[in-house]
Structure 1
Amino acid sequence: MLRRHALGLGASTILATPGLARAQGAAGYPDRPIRFIVPFPAGGGTDTWARIAAEPMQAELGQPIIIDNRGGAGGMVGTEYASKVPPDGYQLLFTITTHIQSPVVMNRFPYDPVADFAPIGRLGTTAVNFVVGPKVPASVTTLAEFVAWSQGREVSIANYAPGSTGHAFGLILARELRLNATQVAYRGEAPMLQDILAGTVDGGFHSMAAAGEMVRARRVRPLACSGAQRSPSLPEVPTLVELGYSRRFIFDGFSGLMAPARTPRPIVERLAAAFRKAAEAPVTHERLLRIDTVPSYLGPDEFGSFVTAKLREWTEIAQELNLRVES
């Protein structure tokens, strides 16, 4: 990573003149549709948050925003692609915490989570819920009952991406509950949820952005949630910490927008202003809270510092818990 940072600094110096030319061409930005690259399939939490942000930004920028779903490798396929597109403000990355998690856990850095991107803003933070589906008997409605039911059998815990919060929490849960568990990785929450509903796997950690409708319809059952506090829409579901499990379950996720590094500053500022207006709108707050996402806007500089801190924190967690997967 240090080498990539050094290369990034050198490239910034070398490209100073072209960068000036791009800045001069930013006066009429935007004059055509903008694309949000979402590194997960449609229908999942990341896709939902991206659309919540994109809708009011379209009106502010005066151009359509197209959602471009590019899932794979725990979000790294779409993110690597986003790191290499022209830095002209027309292809942006809407991402989540896996932005910093997947490279660390897979020990593979096809992109630098910090140096390859210009932060635009953070939309919100969110916890995830451990839910079970029809493969688990309907009589199991608490985590204690799930532990009792799992004794003497192998259980399957799904995750929406290898190296994600859901994957890490699944590993920690299996260790602390002493489960004979198989971890099953997916390319996003939508296909993972489909298999939980189909009874292919027992359960897994889900955001309410993706699983909320299924939870409300009682097609999946939430047994516990991560985070320091109970989910607003699920006050009856205890947190894993209050049940006596690891404080690592307090680690929460983020969602936010980034541009490729070396995007002209005037374009970043134009995008940041539109994003802030969208993120702080009352209707956006209402939509986020409806899916248990805490509205917590951060501007470009603060979001950049936050991502750097989260990368450091996750690296420590991965090393401490030996969280590694084969890429």
Structure 2
Amino acid sequence: MHHPTAPRPLARAGRRHALLLLAALAAAPAAPALAAGPYPDKPVRVVVPFPAGGGTDIVARLIGPYLSAELKQPIVFDNRAGAATVIGTEQVASAPADGYTLLFTSSAFTANASLMKKLPYDPLRDFAPIGQAALHPFVLVAHPSIPANDLKGLLAYAKQNPGKLSYASVGPGSSQHLGMELLKRMAGVDIVHIPYRGSAPAMADLLGGQVDLMFNGISPTLQHIRSGKLKVLATDSDRRVPLLPDVPTVAEAAGLPGYKITTWSGLLAPAGIPDDVKTRLEAAWAKVMGNADLKKELTERGLVPNYVAAGPFGQMLKDDKEEWARLTRDAKVQPE
């Protein structure tokens, strides 16, 4: 017997399945939005384009725990040294602009535009500044055999003995090299440049008397100053360093107003980072850099805490790029 109404339960079941499927499809687009959550919801990678243990890396790792606590996510440091910071910097320039890959770098960031013929990124166009962290003053030290006990005396000796004194640097275009070339130009003296591959071999030769002078970071040099193995002459910044309050600046010690070449460190993100993420990072950075404990830790290592907000930091990067261009031109450093 034919029963036209028999298939109806199956038809009703089919309709129910179809409706359930449509409901599931309608709900699907909402799932990723729910999963994403507010920034950040996973660890943040900070690329440091220097070897571990260097001045910039030390500052980054001092800041790390404070930034992690503020963002409530782990901060993973990734040392990507090589090609005078270009390798690590390029990695960040080409990373997704989502706030999960950041760059903690130094003055090399702006100096390289003048020291290299071609960079695989534009330091101003391809990055969004988040904020400056600290200044890294160098101290000018001399071997005890030098017949001068202050910078004025040293420059007077150099004028009377052109080409007799020598100074070490970590290579052409480094802060140590350009800092001394600027001093030579402003003081009108001739001191021979001896480049090294890193500050450790340069310091070893300075302690051994193979070279006479060197600009170097305060923290690794302090023990040699305190032990009397090196004479301290001046710092290269525009203000006295809290850790060495009795040591004058080059401008003070040599009577050369306007002399300064202090390097800096700061945080940047790839250009195109979403506004809400950038705002979150900037606020976190401001809070972290205002922390009294962090300031104390930086100061104890011969650094100068120097928070600069994103806008002024961006302008400083432009000015710094122009200043390095002038310094390299005056020092006759050829781009490589």
Q: 2:52 aligns with which of 22, 42, 53?
A: 42
Q: For the residues of structure 2 that align with 1:26 and 1:219, how far apart are their CA atoms?
A: 57
May I ask how many residue pairs the two structures share in their alignment?
A: 302
Task: Give the conservation status (yes or no) of the 8 Å contact 1:73–1:162.
Answer: no
Change (3 A) 1:180 1:192: closer
The one-letter code of the counterpart of 2:252 is: E
| Offset of residue 146 of structure 1 | 5.0
| Offset of residue 277 of structure 1 | 1.4
Q: For the residues of structure 1 that align with 2:223 and 2:36, how far apart are their CA atoms?
A: 42
The one-letter code of the counterpart of 2:333 is: R
| Offset of residue 116 of structure 1 | 1.0
* Equivalent residue, structure 2, for 1:232: 242
How far does the alpha carbon of each residue in 1:226-260 deviate from its partner, in whole angstroms, 9 at most, with x for none?
A: 22333222233232212335445224332110011
The root-mean-square deviation of aligned C-alpha atoms, in Å, is: 3.2
Q: For the residues of structure 2 that align with 1:163 and 1:221, how far apart are their CA atoms?
A: 25
2:299 counterpart of 1:289: yes
- Is 156-165 or 46-55 further displaced after alignment? 156-165
Listed as ranges, the gaps of 5+ residues in structure 2 are 1-31
* Equivalent position SS for 1:310: helix
* Equivalent position SS for 1:183: strand
* Equivalent residue, structure 2, for 1:315: 325
How far does the alpha carbon of each residue in 1:34-77 deviate from its partner, in whole angstroms, 9 at most, with x for none?
A: 22222222222111211122120011222222322233343333
Q: For the residues of structure 1 that align with 2:142 and 2:98, how far apart are their CA atoms?
A: 44
Q: For the residues of structure 2 that align with 1:139 and 1:316, how far apart are their CA atoms?
A: 32
Identity over aligned pairs, percent: 33
Change (3 A) 1:23 1:286: farther
Matches within 5 A, 1:53-64: 53-64=63-74
* Equivalent residue, structure 2, for 1:120: 130
Change (3 A) 1:289 1:139: same
2:328 counterpart of 1:324: no
* Equivalent residue, structure 2, for 1:143: 151
Q: 2:268 aligns with which of 258, 263, 274?
A: 258
Q: For the residues of structure 2 that align with 1:23 and 1:196, how far apart are their CA atoms?
A: 60
Matches within 5 A, 1:59-138: 59-132=69-142, 137=145
* Equivalent position SS for 1:114: coil
Bigger Rg, structure 1 or 2: 2
Task: Give the conservation status (yes or no) of the 8 Å contact 2:181–2:331.
Answer: no
Change (3 A) 1:202 1:63: farther
Change (3 A) 1:204 1:277: same
Please report the TM-score for the alignment, with normalisation by the length of structure 2.
Answer: 0.76
- Is 306-315 or 212-221 further displaced after alignment? 212-221
Change (3 A) 1:210 1:26: farther
